[in-house]
Structure 1
Amino acid sequence: MTLENQLINKTFYETFMEADEKNPVRVLGEAFLAGHKDETVDLSAIRFAQGEVYFHNKDYEAAIFKWENTHNDLEPWAKKNIADCYYELGQLSTAEEIYKSIDTESSVLQSEAILQLFSLYIDQGRLEKADQVIKKAVSFNPDYPNVTDIARAFFEKHKDWKSAIELAVNEAIRTESHHWFDILKTYAEQGLTKTFAPHYFSKCLVVLYEVDKARFEQMVLALWNSYRTESSYFSWLREFNHLFLNLDANREQSWKELSALYQETYFELIDGKYLMRELAEIIPNLLTNWIKIADRSYALFASAAVLAWSEKFPSSMSTEVINDAENLIFHSRNETDGLEYSLTLFDSIVKWAEAQHVEPGHRFKWIIRELLDFQTHHLFVAGSSGNGKSAFINSVLGENILTAPTSSVIVFKGHDETEIRKISDTVLTAVSSFHEFQELVERRQNKAFDNAIFEFSLPSPILQENRLALIDTPGFNGRNRIESEALKYLHFADSLLFVLDANDPFTEKEQEILMQIREYAPNLPIHFLINKIDEIYDEHEASRIVDDTRSRVRAFLPQAHVFAYSSQLRSRKQQNDLAEFLKNLNRQITEDDRIEKMLIFIRKLISHLLDKRAEMENSLAESIKWNEEMATKLSGAINQLTDLEKEKARIITRTFRKVMEEISSDLMENIPKILRDSSDMIKEDSDFRKIHLELNDEMNRRVHAYVNDKVLPKFYRSLQEWILTANDELNYCQSFLDEISEGFNAMYGEERLKLNCDFKVLDDWRRDADRMTSGVQIDKVNIFLRRTPYQILLKGAGRLLGAFPQNNAILYNKYKQFVENEDYFDVTKSIISKLLMQFELFEKSLERDISIFFRNPFAVLNQLVEETQKEIKEKEEELEKMRANPETYRDPLTLFEVKLRQYEWIMISAKGVLQV
């Protein structure tokens, strides 16, 4: 045992013991006594040993006394032991001060003191201090026995994963020990490493690659998966692939799990969830690393991915990597389920489009579904206009279905029942009748080709027995060339039957069309039907034409079959021969053929969706413009309605005021006359002491009778006429608003506006007119009791002189003269004011009533303006978003196109693969 181990374990005293000695106290006591007598002996060593014995026997005070008197080279150790005594005695603060004060060059003693401090801090619950001290111990002397294990246990116990991971990384790099790499991998598998920036592990991975490549692969897998759902995932992909690019990994080593992870990651990245700017600096290195390690199970996908990506982004991949991929793809094992991958890709694109609120198209879904029917042979029937193509199809079907040139693609299928459907990009519609079908497909009726396919299912023995579907398209003419939308369905067909006219078969124009077809669909088998053979005057001539045509066709297309036919001839032999001819055309449908066709239509779908984006932008811009125009027109309608309301309020109020003025004029004219005519009640024998009272009562009575008997009936009639006039005016307003509604509804294409006015206003006016003119009670007016000077004089004279009959003649003349000559202006004005007060109040309410009449149209128009403005704002925001971030739509489609090209490369390799 070394001296340092003795000092650590406090067994230094054993150096004084003989082999057969059992009592260290006695041995050390005798040694101390002998040394004390010999003044040349260093007693410090004996005291140090005695302290150890006292310590082991828990006599800590004696041990401290002995160690305090140790002054040789053992003094630093004695100091540490004194601290241990105070530690055991529970005097932790004293122990801490002594541990900290130890000054020594011994790394062992320093490490021991630090570890004791670490234990002391744990006992005190001072975990932060304990953390600092254990990290200091590791940093100072990581090779000191158990120090790193103690540190790891402490970090793990207190879930200080950051410190634990840093310890594992540093020790793995320092020691290159499998033990520490395995610990770090365990942390990664538990997801504890994901809080670190990926570059933190780069050096560690480089070291591990040199130490153990198998462990390197497992470590990479653990770290890769830990970052997968984190925001730092792309940072990891960049960092690791840059690192791995510079390592000498190759396919001679086994990287099966990492190859699988590369494939999984690549497909995940190009699944349409990320933008190109995020992938541009990641994918090239990822593919370069993948292909350099891909084993036979993954080499095909890796090489196809490289070639597809490099075609789309030519400058992103090195020539060396592309050449490697081109060589590898034809030497790789092809166990790919191309059908499953194609359908998965198609479904991914459809789901993505639907999530973008873009209709991927019923047409494409229908086509893919039809291509999955490997039992049905799709025969594309083509030919120049006038060659009798429609007549041939009608004769095959046994019905006169095609009666006029069509502008649509029609697919005839055998079925037990007749069903017709129109399949377009936007809708899938059942066609209810044959007449409707003919109207839809006639070229004259359907001038604009809308990409629609008509699926015509019907009972047809020749189609059902041969599992055949006929595809009919518009006939070719000088202007209808290969670019025609109809011809894009060539890729849907398994073979093509080109109808020739026996009168002039296989013309240069037809040969030119066929060359374009071959260029467009090079692998499509083409065969010929010579129609109208019955129009040839001579059987020998007909035979010659058939042989000559077959010879010229075979020179052009050696594998083509030629069949002579008459659409007018209904013989059983011809039908049997035709069935046999069609049966021979019905070659074996292979899965690879249909997969190729699916991939073609998937590419068309991607192109369709790219076009849809432009359509959506244009549609939004047009919608915004249209809504702005509608908002302007609606605002104009509101202004018109405002002017109309003011005009009608002015007209109706003015006509009512005219009625009021006429009545007022009559009253001003007739009331003074009535009052003057009241003089007839003055007699010479009248009691002139009371005559003024009687006159006042009579005048009020006569005015009241006049008003009720003549004025109010006339007023009633005038008001009824006024209401009729107002009704005409308001009906005109309603008619005007109905015209506005019809105009706007025509523009909207739906019943959006209904501007109904409130005609209850007229009912209210009728009720008020009846109420106001049904009779009035006018308060008695002081007509003859007013305190004018002349009236006072007359009334005074009557009271004084009326008692004497001889004065009656004088009073009679005076009263008579006064009544007949008075102007009564003030009295009349007072009566009119009282009488017309309620009518004036009614007049003041007219403007409010007319406003109520127009309230609903205003509310409807204002609400529609508000909705239109809101729609404009929403569409402007949507359009701005689309234009500001076009890549959010374009980039996923670009990635789908890359994935499509990858499948196409796999299909290419399947045709020319060199099995190894």
Structure 2
Amino acid sequence: MTVEKQFINKSYYETFLIENETRQPIEVLGALYRTEESSETADLSYIRFAQGEIYYHSKDLEAAIFKWEKVENELQPWAIKNIADSYFEIGILDRAEELYTSIVTDCSTLTTEIALQLFSLHIEQNKTESAFKVIQEAVSLNPDYPNVTSLARAFYEEQEDWNSAIELAAKESIRTESLQWFVILEGYVSKGYTKEKAPGYFYELLAVLHRLDHGQFVQMVSVLWQSYKNQDSYLAWIQIINLVFVEAEVNPYNAWDEISFLYEDAYHEFMAGQYFISELHDVLPNLLTNWLKLTPHLRAVFPAAALLAWSEKFPYSIEASFVSTAKDLIYRSEYSHDFLENALRLFDSITQWAERNDLEAGPRWDWLAHQLADAKTRHLVVTGVKGNGTSSFINSLLGETVSGYAAGATVAISDGPETEIAIMDENTVRTVSSLAELELSSPQGEYVHVRVPSQFLYDHALTIFDIPNFQGTELFEYARAANGLLVVLNVNEPFTEQERRVLLQVRKQLPNLPIHFLLNKMDTIYSEQEAMRITEGTQLRIQADFPNAAVLPYSSLYASRQQLSDMTGFLAAVFALHGAEEGRAAKILYLIKDMIMYLIRKREEKERRLAGSIEWNEDVLAKLNAAIHKVSDLEQEKAQHIAKSYAVVKEAIQDELTEQIPKLLQECSDILREDSDFRNIHVQLNEEMNKRIQSYLQNKILPECLVSMQEWIASSREELLQGQDYLEEMSEAFNALYEEEKIRLQCDFRVIDDWQRDAERITSTVQVGETNVFLRTKPSQLLLKSAGKLFGALGQNRTVLYNQYKKHVESEDYSETAAAVTNKFLLQFELLEKGLVRDVGMFFRNPLSILSRIAEETDADIQSKQQLLDTMKARPEMYHDPLTLFQVKLRQYEWVTGTAEARNPLTLS
């Protein structure tokens, strides 16, 4: 045992014991102490150090501390450490920490032991941060010291400090090259603790592990791959693992299937339209070369094809040696790849991407793809120049009238348990219940799928494409998806130059498509010899350009059982209706290629459509804003007119009251008599005057007011009706722009009813109350009242008083009284007048609200579309890159299926 080990275990005292010593260690040390003490050069520190250990083990910690405090030689640092251990055991933690931290030493063992003791002490004190610091320093200083790294790992895991745990495991994996640490780190990865680590963090570790152990390396790569998948750092991970395999030698005898499949999944993900080419340009070349290196030759066709497709699209991005190797694998391989599943997966990727980017391909593409995926069904295109009897021929085959109901539309006819008809346009599918309804719907330029119960179609597992437009693009589109093309000729003008020219173009684009001919309307030929001559002549002309084509004479009008039997044999022979499906892979590729080109055009159309829509919306918005101003002006105009006409009515009433009330009051003199009681006559006069005012207002003015108000309401209604008519014309103009009933500017005519009720209410009764006419304090009235009281009882004065009163009543100025009565009477009229502008505003509120809302929606639509258009123009790669990647993947499938060998790629460069 080394001395340092004795210091650690506090067993240094054993060095003072001789072999076969029977005395107790403390007795031996005591004797040595006495001997050494008597020496002239005595150094008692060694013995005291050893005595302290004996006392420590005997739990006499106070004696142990006393002895260690007396140590003054080179053992002093260990003695102080032992003293600190004693205080730690006693529980005097602060003193122990003070002593531990006071020790200065160059001994790494002592330093490590102190660190481990401080680590335990800090945990006891719940000083977690201090414990972290101490254990990290211990690991950094002496990682090979027993239990240092295991203690650190356990502590990090207990504290859930996964970053520190990962750092420890990664460093120890590289330093020790121990598979145990790699396994520990793999556990952290699999639990998701390393996701925040940049992938480059693991580069050196993977390089070391690749050299050490293949199986553990594959396992580590797999768990790291899964941890970074679907994370923002996924591309960075691919770059790192690519670099590992580029720089490492790959042993072909090792099993790399698991990583090869991971590369394949990554390739499919990167090519699904979620990434830009700029992101993949530095990733895909190494991914493809590594994928090829790690895949056994028996399965290497797929990565080899992917590498060749990428290299064609991006020349010089992949080393020539890898391109040569990939071509050699393709040409020598007999591997049968499940192409259909991959092709349909590519088709689904494209349609999903298109849907996410508002470029839906439409239901027709999906229908065609699934038709091609059905290996049990054969597809026959039947076409011909208009007038050649294509529809009548198809109907004769089916035994019922099915073709001809959808003139101008391409119709697919297949067998089904009952009649089902679906009409597909670019974006939607709609159904009709019968062929008659189909004819009424006139689906020009659309695609129609008709399913009808048909023994002929069922027996031959056949779907017929009825294409009326012989020279249109539809012929080429559907011929690519078909097993054969049957051209219906007219026996009276067979195989015209037009028919020859179109079919030569078809053969140029589709060299492997079987093309055969039906010589229809044979019933119009007057003799059998003439029919034979025409048939033979037609066949000779056709075979000059189409040497493998067959020609079958046929009469749709007189279709017999024998003729149908001949047709069955003809179809079975020339189109191999019951044979194995050949070239289905190429047909799906053609379909995908057409759809990609369609999406490219649609993307361009979308940009043009957005620009057109923005321009149209801006024009509409200008019209809407102008309309809002016009309606506001109209509202103001109508409010002014209605208020003005109301003011005229009110002023007329006011003028009449101002003029008539004074006269009415002056006429009250007729109640005066010479025998009147002049002491109270002023009271009688006042009562009479109020009575006559009330009668006048109630019986004359109110009826006149009601008539005037009714005339005003009728006039106002006409004004508002004119406004409504104007708004209806405005609605029609906007709806014509929108081509739908989008705007209905309906005003609120309830204001008329409110005015009517108000008019009836304020003209139903007088609400002016009593008016003080003759009981006022004017000097003349005071004089008369005083005279009446003084002289009213004297007969000789009555004539004088009568004349004075009469004169006063008839000559008095009642304008002030008339004004007071008028103001009271017109109060209700004025309240109505004050609300007229508000009422007219309520009348126009709904139209203005509708126009404002649509204007806001239009402006928001403009902003949204302008933002999208700006993005499309500023970042064309958003659409261009995914479509380019789809083309690369399509080209890969061409290599897989062998169509690439023809050096005539289906996709565009």
Aligning the two structures, in what range does the TM-score lie when normalised by the shorter sequence?
Answer: 0.7 to 0.9
Q: Does 1:337 align with 2:331?
A: no
Q: CA deviation at 1:496?
A: 0.5
Distance change (3 Å), C-alpha of 1:122 and 1:683: closer
| Mapped contact 1:757–1:857 kept (Cα < 8 A) | yes
| Mapped contact 1:13–1:24 kept (Cα < 8 A) | no
Equivalent in the alignment of 2:426: 425
Distance change (3 Å), C-alpha of 1:825 and 1:905: same
How far, CA to CA, are the matches of 1:626 and 1:240 in structure 2?
52
Structure 1 segment 82-121 matched on structure 2, within 5 A: 115=116
How far, CA to CA, are the matches of 1:506 and 1:202 in structure 2?
71
Among 726, 751, 760, the alignment partner of 1:736 is 726
Amino acid at match of 1:319: A
Equivalent in the alignment of 2:623: 633
How far, CA to CA, are the matches of 1:118 and 1:456 in structure 2?
83
Output one character per residue of 1:705-739: Cα deviation in whole Å (capped at 9) or x when no partner. 56555554444444433333333333333333333
How far, CA to CA, are the matches of 2:663 and 2:171 in structure 1?
126
Structure 1 segment 450-599 matched on structure 2, within 5 A: 452-476=446-470, 480=471, 484-584=473-573, 585-588=575-578, 590=580, 593-599=583-589
Distance change (3 Å), C-alpha of 1:40 and 1:432: closer
SS state at 2:583 partner? helix
How far, CA to CA, are the matches of 1:256 and 1:576 in structure 2?
55
SS state at 1:218 partner? helix
Q: Does 1:22 align with 2:18?
A: no
Among 598, 613, 638, the alignment partner of 1:648 is 638
Structure 1 segment 264-413 matched on structure 2, within 5 A: 264-296=265-297, 298-332=299-333, 334-356=335-357, 359-399=360-400, 406-413=407-414
Q: CA deviation at 1:33?
A: 7.1
SS state at 2:488 partner? strand
| Mapped contact 1:259–1:295 kept (Cα < 8 A) | no
SS state at 1:364 partner? helix
Equivalent in the alignment of 1:853: 843
| Mapped contact 1:712–1:774 kept (Cα < 8 A) | yes
How far, CA to CA, are the matches of 1:728 and 1:122 in structure 2?
94
| Mapped contact 1:121–1:130 kept (Cα < 8 A) | yes
Q: Which moved more, 1:34-43 or 1:256-265?
A: 34-43
How far, CA to CA, are the matches of 2:698 and 2:667 in structure 1?
18
Distance change (3 Å), C-alpha of 1:497 and 1:799: same
Q: Which moved more, 1:843-852 or 1:408-417?
A: 843-852
How far, CA to CA, are the matches of 2:841 and 2:757 in structure 1?
19
How far, CA to CA, are the matches of 1:707 and 1:87 in structure 2?
114
Q: Which moved more, 1:106-115 or 1:300-309?
A: 106-115
Q: CA deviation at 1:694?
A: 7.3
How far, CA to CA, are the matches of 1:217 and 1:888 in structure 2?
36
| Mapped contact 1:263–1:298 kept (Cα < 8 A) | no
Structure 1 segment 766-915 matched on structure 2, within 5 A: 766-774=756-764, 776=766, 836=826, 838-877=828-867, 879=869, 887-888=877-878, 890-908=880-898
Q: CA deviation at 1:626?
A: 3.8
| Mapped contact 2:379–2:463 kept (Cα < 8 A) | yes
Structure 1 segment 125-140 matched on structure 2, within 5 A: 128-140=129-141
How far, CA to CA, are the matches of 1:301 and 1:486 in structure 2?
33
Q: CA deviation at 1:809?
A: 8.6
| Mapped contact 2:469–2:475 kept (Cα < 8 A) | no
Equivalent in the alignment of 2:905: none
How far, CA to CA, are the matches of 1:159 and 1:525 in structure 2?
71
Which runs of 5 or more residues in structure 1 are unaligned? none
Distance change (3 Å), C-alpha of 1:227 and 1:760: closer
Equivalent in the alignment of 2:243: 242
Q: Which moved more, 1:370-379 or 1:853-862?
A: 853-862
Equivalent in the alignment of 2:749: 759
Output one character per residue of 1:188-237: Cα deviation in whole Å (capped at 9) or x when no partner. 33444444333233223223333333433333223333333544333222
| Mapped contact 2:29–2:51 kept (Cα < 8 A) | yes
SS state at 1:245 partner? helix
How far, CA to CA, are the matches of 1:66 and 1:687 in structure 2?
144
Q: How many aligned positions are there?
A: 900
Amino acid at match of 2:382: V
Amino acid at match of 1:22: T
Equivalent in the alignment of 1:206: 207
SS state at 1:314 partner? coil
| Mapped contact 1:550–1:562 kept (Cα < 8 A) | yes
Q: Which moved more, 1:816-825 or 1:133-142?
A: 816-825
Normalising by structure 1, we get a TM-score of 0.83
Q: Which moved more, 1:146-155 or 1:321-330?
A: 146-155
How far, CA to CA, are the matches of 1:459 and 1:127 in structure 2?
81
Amino acid at match of 2:326: A
How far, CA to CA, are the matches of 2:409 and 2:563 in structure 1?
29
Distance change (3 Å), C-alpha of 1:327 and 1:811: same
SS state at 2:207 partner? helix
Distance change (3 Å), C-alpha of 1:71 and 1:552: same
CA RMSD of aligned residues (A): 4.5
Q: Does 1:727 align with 2:717?
A: yes
Amino acid at match of 1:902: Q
Amino acid at match of 1:570: A
Distance change (3 Å), C-alpha of 1:784 and 1:573: same
How far, CA to CA, are the matches of 1:650 and 1:70 in structure 2?
114
Distance change (3 Å), C-alpha of 1:221 and 1:400: closer
How far, CA to CA, are the matches of 2:106 and 2:894 in structure 1?
73
Amino acid at match of 2:713: I
Q: Does 1:604 align with 2:604?
A: no
How far, CA to CA, are the matches of 1:495 and 1:525 in structure 2?
5
Distance change (3 Å), C-alpha of 1:412 and 1:817: same
SS state at 1:854 partner? helix
| Mapped contact 1:406–1:473 kept (Cα < 8 A) | no
How far, CA to CA, are the matches of 1:366 and 1:596 in structure 2?
17
| Mapped contact 1:377–1:586 kept (Cα < 8 A) | no
| Mapped contact 1:628–1:872 kept (Cα < 8 A) | yes
How far, CA to CA, are the matches of 2:235 and 2:735 in structure 1?
54
Q: CA deviation at 1:670?
A: 6.0
Normalising by structure 2, we get a TM-score of 0.84
Q: CA deviation at 1:563?
A: 0.9
How far, CA to CA, are the matches of 2:279 and 2:890 in structure 1?
20
Q: Does 1:173 align with 2:174?
A: yes
Output one character per residue of 1:18-52: Cα deviation in whole Å (capped at 9) or x when no partner. 65443364666777777788879988777766666
Distance change (3 Å), C-alpha of 1:756 and 1:118: closer
Structure 1 segment 432-451 matched on structure 2, within 5 A: 432-441=433-442, 446=444, 449=445
Q: CA deviation at 1:454?
A: 1.1
Q: CA deviation at 1:113?
A: 5.5
SS state at 2:249 partner? coil
Output one character per residue of 1:242-281: Cα deviation in whole Å (capped at 9) or x when no partner. 2321222253543222222222332233334444443333
Distance change (3 Å), C-alpha of 1:560 and 1:352: same
Distance change (3 Å), C-alpha of 1:820 and 1:197: closer
